[in-house]
Amino acid sequence: MKTLAIVLALAVTPVLITPAVAAPFDKGDPKAGQATHDKQCKDCHVARFGGDGSKIYTRADRRVKSASGLSQQITTCNSMLGNQLFPEDELHLSAYLNGQFYKFK
Ligand code: HEC
């Protein structure tokens, strides 16, 4: 009986631990984020940084240093657009930008 209890405990443990180590923004949809990004965000960044605009995310002195900083910056940029996006859109954008450029864990 004792052995069974230990085996069960070991089998269940990873399931309980997984949510704690899940990536930030894992509820966002990066594909939806990319679509919104290319439509609403890119042009302005391209105008300032040239190329495809992605330098804004990869430059050495980039501003965003954490997952929560990324959410904040997206909200700031969104407000320049006149708050056209819903919180879900911001989550999708975070998922896209984090997966592609920032890679915060
Ligand atoms: C009106 C122009 C404009 C629009 C539209 C815009 N941005 Fe920005 N964004 C900026 C500028 C300017 C900066 C750089 C700020 C700085 O360096 O001080 C920036 C910076 C950022 C950064 C931080 C980059 C870093 O340094 O790490 C992120 C992330 C970002 N924008 C996301 C978005 C997203 C997502 C959207 C679309 C919802 C968006 N932006 C739309 C102008 C814009």
The model's pLDDT over 51-84, given as tens digits with 9 standing for 90+, comes to: 999 999 999 999 999 999 999 999 999 999 998 8
User: Under 8 Å CB-to-CB from 28, ≥6 apart: which residues?
Assistant: 88, 91, 92, 93, 94, 95, 96
**Hey, which of 41, 48, 79 would you mutate to test ligand 1's pocket, going by the most ligand atoms within 8 Å of its Cβ?**
41
> 82 CA distance to ligand 1 centroid (A)?
14
Q: Calculate mean pLDDT across residues 38-57.
A: 96
Query: pLDDT over 90 for what percent of the chain?
Result: 75
Mutation pick for ligand 1 pocket among 37, 44, 48, 54 (CB with most ligand atoms within 8 Å)? 44
27/91 Cα distance (integer angstroms): 8
The enclosing domain of 66 has a CATH number of: 1.10.760
Q: Is the pLDDT of residue 16 over 80?
A: no
Flag whether 76 is in a domain.
Answer: yes
Domain membership of residue 94 (yes or no) is: yes
Domain that holds residue 97: 23-102
Q: What is the pTM of this model?
A: 0.84
Residue 19: the pLDDT is 46
| Long-range contacts from 37-42, C-beta under 8 angstroms, 24+ separation | 37/93, 37/96, 37/97, 40/81, 40/84, 40/85, 41/77, 41/93
What value does the mean pLDDT of the chain take? 87
- Per the structure, the count of domains in the chain is 1
Any domain includes 32: yes
Q: Per the domain annotation, does 8 fall within a domain?
A: no
Q: Is residue 51 part of a domain?
A: yes
